[in-house]
Amino acid sequence: MAAFRRGVFCIGLSYASNLVRLSGALVRRQVMKFPTTIRKNWISLSAIGGLCAVPFSQTTLALVDSFTQYVKTIHTLMTIHKHYVASVSKLTPAEEDSVWQVIVRQRQEVSDLREDCKRFESNWMMAINLSKLAAETAYNAAQTSLQVAQSHVDQIRQLSMEAEKNLKESNAEDSQRIKLPAAMEEEDIPEAYLRED
């Protein structure tokens, strides 16, 4: 079950990071759902110490992908704007309007990606905090387990020492076999048992 949840979560993060690369209003609306997905799955995956690294690394990858796309979009905007400024005098009004619309759309995409980066960074910070909490919880659980184990060992050592003390007091370990006088031994055994038939 844990492997299934981990797989679903990884696929969800991969899907969400791919959505960030795409543009369009529908994609932006779907990306808005991503933090809710993280919040729903994050607690169940992070509560298990072994899975703590999975959501953290996936969140890190999503953040890196988001920033990478953001930087590419900024460079694209700067390149388009540079060409626009260099050739504005050579363009017809229709061409100039068309290029300007591309610049406006690119600016909007930069703005949207900036917001996505902020959201992914917020999720990443939450992942860091949850990872720290999981590490602290694991440490505390280990300390508690060590204390319980030490307590059990101390109790059994005490019982062992008491048993050894009682053993010495009883002389059961050092005593010799008690020999009965020969006359008593023969009288106690009936003759029927001594005969061989």
- Residue 115 burial (CB count, 10 A): 14
What amino acid occupies position 26?
L
pLDDT tens for 30-45 read: 444 444 444 444 444 4
* pLDDT above 70 for 50: no
- What rounded mean pLDDT belongs to the chain? 75
Cβ-based neighbours of 37, under 8 Å, separated by 6 or more: 12, 16
What amino acid occupies position 98?
S
Handedness of CA 93, 99, 102, 104 (dihedral sign): negative
**2-136 CATH, one of 1.10.4160.10, 1.20.58.70, 2.40.50.180, 1.10.3720.10:** 1.20.58.70
Report residue 85 as tokens. Answer: 């400024």
- Spell out the domain ranges in the chain: 2-136
pLDDT tens for 113-147 read: 999 999 999 999 998 888 888 889 989 998 998 99
